[in-house]
Structure 1
Amino acid sequence: MTSRPAEPDRIRPDEAAASADSPAETSYAPFAHLTAPNTALYRQVMRVFLAAKERFAVHLRPEDVHAALPPEHRPAAPDAVVKALDSLVGWGNLRADPDTSRVTAVEDFYRRRFIYQLTQAGEAAEQALSVYDEALGRRGALQAVALHDIVTQLRALLVIAAEHEEGEPDPAKAHLALSTLTNRFEALAENARAFMGSLQRTIDLHGVEVEVFLAYKDRLIQYLERFIQDLITLGGRIARLIGELEEQGRVGVLLRLAAAREAADAAPDEAESAEARAQARWAAKWAGLSAWFVSADGRESQARLLRGRALGAIPQLLAVVRQLNERRAGRSDRSADFRTLARWFAEAPDAEARHRLWRAVFGLYPARHLTVDADTLADRAARPVAASTPWAEAEPLRISPQLRRTGSYERRGKPRRVQDRSEQRRRLAEIAAKQTEEIAAARARLATDGTTRLSALGELDPMAFGLFLRLLGDALATWRPGMTTTVTTSNDGTMEIRLTALDDGTTAAIRTPGGVFRGPDHLVEITDLTAGIPAREAR
């Protein structure tokens, strides 16, 4: 008569995975492996199961998981993988089923053998972690192309609105144009946010290799300048198109058409509520788009804020480059010196060595150690004197007559020659004066005696044209729907521009050495606020 082998403690797979596959109650146990010991092994095991799922493999045995692990994360003993699998089963990431395919005897049936598969909760947890890792590593971009796409879609919406006024509405066109518009806008906003965050990390040199940064700094600055120019020109155009769509409630009609198309497939008893929810969702998206490009009372548009941050990032990048060049040129860097000194203190073998380092670096000796030499050190080593010894009881200190007469041991001699940098300072002063004169001439060239048309400005040199573009961008950034006139000042407060729209449909052409700048004609009045101020104060 044979006795049945004692059944070892086993995991009940049906009980262990019940909470993972049950939708009755949400559990966050599948994330527990992130804070447990051996987190790296758990993550690699879960990635093995995700890779197996992509290959349409349903179950994996422990030896399969062990073989699929990367060599740097593969334990020497397969039992470590089995323990990791059991822990993941307990947390609900995996499901364990008895492996009866290789049973050849009764003893094998009672032996612990399981095959494992990914649970729905475990897969959802890994997808969430993948999104998290991707978001952290995302650098983003300033998508100037998205600005052009937004202009195109806004113009398409104007055409659709005109068709609706003629009695031929097309909900499909409205829904498609609005969907494309919001998708491009969301991509623009999200990428801009990610890029500015990564740009700030670059400025702070967090996780950035210095050599790589110095290699691509010029391209980064050019990239910022190009996007700023596109944002100035296209941002004002987008704001005007948004204003035209919001006139007479045109955009409301388009949003209702898109909402009705979305709710067309809803259940009959939910059709009305589904359309209301869809319309509220579209209205919120449009409000976000409008707030991004159009300034309101007491609030600047996000496009203007983004432009300000991008403009401010350029001098910050240049300052970082200057600081790095100074370090590479061997100039003194006090913070680096103190970090090196701190490392020396940390690497000192004992307290006595740290005291010697302190005395060597700072020279803050007790008063009786003023003339410590080799003989004095040898004598102190032979006959130590406690630091608490009073002066009256300590051995006398021999002071050199020279120190008594002059108060110093320094040898007198000819001091080092100071390098004369007057020529460099004169050259820098000439460059600064020349730049100031050019800027003053550009302001004087743009200043108008009263109101005039843009088309009457004539030909502008590069300096004056660049200043004109900045002024025009500042004015267009403050333009709101329904406005016909706007007044603003430049960022440095030296110029004021008053811009008034015309309804005659004329086009202004401003010639420059680099080409011809064309756009809708406006009435403009530009005032030089520094007129009458001395050049030194205006600077």
Structure 2
Amino acid sequence: MTKSLLKPIAETSYLNAQNVGRYRCIMRYFYEQHQRLRYWLKPREVFDGVMAFGLLEEDYTLDQCQKDLNQLVEWGNLVPRHDGGRSATVEEYLRKKFRYQMTPYAVEIERLVAGLEKIRGYGGSLEPSLFENIAGHLDRLEKAGGQFAPGEAVALWDNLYGDFVKLTDNASDYIASLQSARVEELMLTEAFLAYKDSVTRYLQDFIQGLQRYAYKTEAMLATVEPGLVNTFLANVQRDLAARPQLDEPVTPEEQLARLQLEWQSMVRWFAGSAGEPSDVYFLEQTTKDTIARIVRNALRIQEKHRLGVSRRRELDYLGKWFFTLDDINEAHRLAAHVFGLYRCRHFQGVDEKGTDNADVSMWQAGPNIRELRSRSRKRLRDTGTGSIKDRRDSQQKARRDFLAAQQEEMALLRNYLDRKAIRISGLGPVSARERYYLLYWIGRCMANKSRRILTPEGIGISLEMPAGRARAVLECEDGELDMPDYLLKFSAVIGDHHEQSG
């Protein structure tokens, strides 16, 4: 950054001056002649050319044109040069004759203004071939190995960075055009259905090209050696310095620093920076979101169009079809094809299948009965006192079930305590309850750092991991369970000392 950033640009004064129409016509005529390689113009030529536009008033004179030219010279838009040719009249002899040429600032400003007049939207395009071109340029850079003939490095750089700038500018403009207010309004009309397929296919082709070459380019930029990059940029700077610049030559240091910044911006766009994803990722996500939005709006338009269509005849035909079916399964299949899945409600709770077998379908298990309460905010009026329900039978049943489960677990623990140790591969077929207790003990041991637990009955259980990650199949009465070949050791614990039962 330099101090020139803080200074006003006097060359743009003619765009908002009092006689802006006259100044703009003069500058536009100069720009058109500049495009035709006619750089130095006389006041009479400028006056005749401006009047040929037919935009200024007829009382506009050559003297006023001369004053406007002097003002443009003062603002820095034109450069005068004395015309030493012969005079054709006395008036020309008495008046100093000048020719005028546009300054570089004025050329760029008028080129910008001419481009602004042609804008009818964001424009832009999505060209997946540019990703392939960039990957090809990087491949040629790696194959060169730092050896570049004079003029070869700058040509490769112009192609590489030119395709990168063209890709980023066109892609950002096209995505912005799809998100403009005018396109949003178009997506809500039925006329958009005619463009839906072509736009979606266009975006999908761009996504495929991006996924095929962009991430390849990212990998190439990440693996290219810094020494090769420095050598390449130094050769580019050498080729640029060989081009004669007579107006304001740039120092080699400034030129090399600019090239390094442009290379870093390209790497950041493809590979991202520390802690931030790349712009390629954002471009891919934005394009996918645009495709989803287009499809969603098209479906909404189609559904809205179908709302006014009577389906009485179709429903009558469908009802007769159902009546002709004798098999309930055929009716279920027909309903599934016609109506699809019904809207379901999700209830949080424990699914009680009655079995741990994952192969048992929900249709084969019994229903889980849940009591639903009203979610209305209106409080129901108290209808008076109610009777107290006697729950002794259910409590006694729960107590008996709990004691039976305890006795069953204790019996199994005594059995394993007599055996001292068991290995999963050494067990025969087991029941579902026995498998439940085994998995319960293994889970508790795995949750403990020491791989050891103590049951309320005073029995210690320790778990040892299988060597070499060996696995075993535990045969159960309701299926087979593939699991690691654990070793479980059982011991009776008295106080703080461990006594092995034998």
Query: Of the two, which has the highest radius of gyration?
Result: 2
What TM-score do the two structures reach when normalised by structure 2?
A: 0.47
